[in-house]
Amino acid sequence: MKKYKVNEIFYSVQAEGRNAGRAAAFVRFSGCNLNCPFCDTNHEASVEMTAAEIDRAVAELAPKGAMVVFTGGEPTLQLSDDEELCRGRFRAIETNGIIPAPRWIDWVTISPKTELPDENLFRANEIKMLYGWQNEAQMKCVEVTVAPRATLLYAQPIADEKGHFAVDEAVDFVKRNPAWRLSLQWHKLFNIR
């Protein structure tokens, strides 16, 4: 029986991108294939859970209408087309896009941190670039190579080591590149769990 390494499961509100404001159960997986300095996942802390245990935990936390967001770390390291989780719910994934998302996922958010294989991009509903960590040249590259495959493009300012969000820079980028939209991390701005 397959076991997943789960960092935490919690119920809150999606605070980023197109689904911002929706009630969501978050299944945060442990482990990643990258080492981003701003990652908010404690990869050392995890519990092994079966699909049935994950489904039960989500059902206990979130009413039926709430969506489920698989995040991490990198959820595609553990999710596959072989086994579906949380059937009967709207299921979203937040991924770095290196590994393709399972076919049963309803909404794919790719936040690229490195160059992506073209075949992985056909399932991107939205692209989320982290402004303040990625520079404008990287974002322009993504706009040319990735953007045509996604419906929504977000420039999302993140905080530097001093806690300053690159909001002004992201707003300026969006004004000069109208295909992009500004997306804020509401959970960090308003301390939402």
The residues annotated with a catalytic role in the active site are 26, 32, 36, 39-41, 94, 187
3-state percent breakdown (helix, strand, coil) of the chain, nearest 5? 25, 25, 50
How many degrees, rounded to 5, is the angle at CA 98 between CA 127 and CA 69?
55
**Residue 11, Cβ density class (10 Å: 0-12 exposed, 13-18 middle, ≥19 buried):** middle
CA-closest candidate to residue 9, choices 81, 80, 62, 52: 62
CA atoms of 79 and 86, how far apart (whole Å): 12
Q: For residue 68, with 0-12 CB atoms within 10 Å meaning exposed, 13-18 middle and 19 or more buried, which class applies? A: buried
